[in-house]
Chains A and B, each alone.
Chain A
Amino acid sequence: MKHSRVATFALGLVLVFALAGTCLAAQKDKGQVVVYNWSEYIPQDVLDDFTKETGIKVVYSTFESNEAMYAKVKLLRGKSYDLVVPSGYFVDLLRRDKLIQKIDKSRLSNAMHLDPKLMNLEFDPDNTYSIPYMWGVLGLAYNSKYVPKGSLTRWEQLLKPEYKGKLILTDDLRDAFGLALRAKGHSVNSKDPAQIKEGFDFLTRLKNSVRVFDVTAIKQALISEEVWIGPIWNGDYLVAREENENLEYIFPEEGAIPWVDSFTIPVGAENVDNAYAFINYMLRPEIAVRCIKEYKYSSPNLKAVEMLPAEMQNNPILVPGPKELKNAEFITGIGEALDLYEKYWEQVKTAQ
């Protein structure tokens, strides 16, 4: 008797779940959108709200470097993902490899909020293939407890002997060469072997001062005061500043190195409509504001920037102006010259 009651109860429970399941399935019939993005870049509740609003499930996976993203998209021949977020010149690389498709901007009503200054850049003229999501700058952070305020203004000063063993350097070869070339007064995209050699010499000397090479954990090393100085993205700095108030930030005089990360749709995307819906949702000013507040990167969304609290809007680190961006130069594709950079970089890393 007792057993049968338990069985009935269990059966009932199963039915309820099955029913609920089919209801949910019916509601979620909108399918999914598969997003491949940088880690720590879109708040989870923003993704949840998108699903709540549209019924489209977000399948989210992340990468830590453009190179890893590029290799994977190339390996999958542009299939599997509906949305990928490469930085700057990787848009160009993906386009050349015919791995991303043209974007129909008429389907993105919120694209009108975007800053024209961050559109139509060299890596994608007219934004035929990409829509900017966030942008930022590689500048220099230092700890004012050890480095007097105002004493550090240029990339070139990193070579000062008193900073020996107190430096963290980006492990990204284009960024590292970028700042070295800038310190030597050259373009970050130089293809001139003599100039690249100068950058290499700078980095070889700089290596003596470097305690750590890293990309993703630069802020931790600065927060814990393992190192005094390091090149860091402005958003990462602002997050780190909340943990350690001694940290200061400068845009080096020779020119900081800006970047733009953009939404692109791979050629093999299976849910193109959902990808458009997702991009348009992310471009909505209220949504963009939530992303800025969480990760402290600069936004190309002018309307969203206007909606920020005054102290955020007026923070030149969050919203760099022409003064901060003086001499700033975007990293672009350099083709074959990359082999030379790579060769030199290996030599820097293997130098004793």
Chain B
Amino acid sequence: MRASAGGGASLFRAFSIGSTWLWLGAFALLPTLALLLVSLLDRGETDFFIPVLTVKNYQELFSPVFLTVLWDSVRLAILSTLVCLLIGYPFAYRIARASAKWRPWLLLLVIIPFWTNSLIRTYALILIIGAQGMLNKALLGLGLIAAPLEMMYTDFAVFIGLSYTLLPFMVLPLYASIEKLDTRLLDAAKDLGAGSLRSFWHITLPLTLPGIVAGCMLVFLPSLGMFYVPEILGGAKNLLLGTFIKNQFLVANNWPLGAAASSVMTILLVIMAALYRLSSLRVAGRDHKGLLSGGPEELNGRSPRRPSGAGPSMPQAARKAGGL
């Protein structure tokens, strides 16, 4: 009996692991490697690329045009990530602290927009913020403005579009980490005399850092690639990374250059994923040590100061917050 059950389980294990690897290999690893390969090939006359190895595509990326494109895209992505974080954190905090009866419903409301294609939702925003959109009509009707506000085709519209589309990606990981937060630590901090701001800064923020980093990554990376939102709502006045890549493949027929630009984006992604892993390892490691022995490293003074961005361990946090 046991043997057969074990056999079944191991078969299931082999199958599930095997299918995961197969899926990732066929649909993630292979295309990425193919892209990397094409980025190192030369451009052909009649073919999209010819099998001649070269690094000139990467050299071409050092042109002022591409650097502007990259900078504009990164700047836009950073700003929309910040907007999402500023809105998403209090948002997730409220949900996580809501009563158990309400929580699933509030979460459902965050997820529902996912059921509609984001392109359609982006177009729908035009109906709201357009010159003859609902918002302008309402403001005009109330007599608050004399002429329609120009909201469409501005940076404002782009931030609205990006943060609206990507907010759930920020809220969900934040919610997960805020919900896990041990409220006894906050009580302890309060007992020790910490104000709410202080306990937020020394306890809540450091302990929800993995959620913040995960949320920021989940927002930052798609907003780098979501070229249609700035195109539709922003009027496509700047060339962004996604559009640049699309143009290389479709308009200029320069696949190797497009592949090189795309690889740069992939490398950015890998660096950020590594940073995320590093930060979550730090938090996890700290929790472990901190809970078991009260944070020996802090006590024996080996590392009295932590690098910025990484917070103190849990009991340590409560003590610090309490002013000890």
Contact = CB atoms under 8 A, between A and B. Distances in A.
Interface of A: 65, 67-68, 70-71, 74-75, 97, 165, 171, 173, 207, 210-214, 217, 220, 224-226, 338-339, 342-343, 346-347, 349-350
A71 B250 contact: yes
B118 interface: no
A211 B250 contact: no
B153 A350 contact: no
Interface string B211-246: 000000000000000000001100111110000100
Contacts of B131: 224-226
B249 interface: yes
Given A210-B235, A214-B235, A350-B238, 6 more contacts: A67-B251, A68-B250, A214-B231, A342-B252, A346-B65, A349-B238
B287 interface: no
13 contacts: A67-B250, A71-B249, A211-B235, A214-B235, A224-B131, A226-B130, A339-B252, A342-B251, A346-B239, A346-B247, A349-B238, A349-B239, A350-B65
A173 B235 CA distance: 15
A213 B236 contact: yes
B32 interface: no
A67 B150 CA distance: 32
A109 to B, nearest CB: 36
B147 to A, nearest CB: 11
Nearest to B71: A350
Contacts of A165: 150
Contacts of B10: none
Contacts of B152: 226
Q: Is the interface of B mostly helix, strand, loop or mixed?
A: loop
Contact of A171 (B153, B236, B238): B236
Interface string B102-133: 00000000000000000000000010001110
B280 interface: no
A81 B232 CA distance: 30
Interface residues of B, number: 27
Contacts of A217: 232
A348 to B, nearest CB: 9
B249 A214 contact: no
Given A71-B253, A350-B65, A97 B46 contact: yes
A215 to B, nearest CB: 9
B65 A347 contact: yes
**Which 4 A-B pairs rank lowest in CB-CB distance, beginning with the nearest?**
A212-B235, A349-B239, A213-B236, A350-B68
A97 B72 CA distance: 37
A51 B72 CA distance: 50
A211 B68 contact: no
Given A67-B250, A224-B130, A350-B72, A210 B65 contact: no
B239 A212 contact: no
A269 B232 CA distance: 35
B176 interface: no
A343 to B, nearest CB: 8
Nearest to B250: A67
B48 A74 contact: yes
A34 B69 CA distance: 38
A226 B150 CA distance: 8
A225 B132 CA distance: 8
A220 B133 CA distance: 12
B258 to A, nearest CB: 11
Contacts of B126: 220
Contacts of B249: 71
Given A226-B131, A226-B152, A212 B236 contact: yes
Contacts of A70: 253
B19 to A, nearest CB: 29
Contacts of B132: 224-225
Contacts of B235: 210-214
A65 B253 CA distance: 14
A165 B65 CA distance: 24
B26 to A, nearest CB: 19
Candidate in A65, A210, A343, A350 with the most chain B CB atoms within 10 angstroms: A350
A212 B153 contact: yes
B211 to A, nearest CB: 36
Interface in B193-227: none
B254 to A, nearest CB: 8
A19 B75 CA distance: 62
B71 to A, nearest CB: 10
A225 B136 CA distance: 13
A350 B131 CA distance: 26
Nearest to A172: B251
Nearest to B232: A217
Nearest to A171: B236
Contacts of B48: 74-75
Contacts of B250: 65, 67-68, 71
A75 B49 CA distance: 12
Given A74-B48, A224-B130, A214 B236 contact: yes
A17 to B, nearest CB: 32
Nearest to A71: B250
A174 B192 CA distance: 70
Contact of A226 (B46, B68, B153): B153
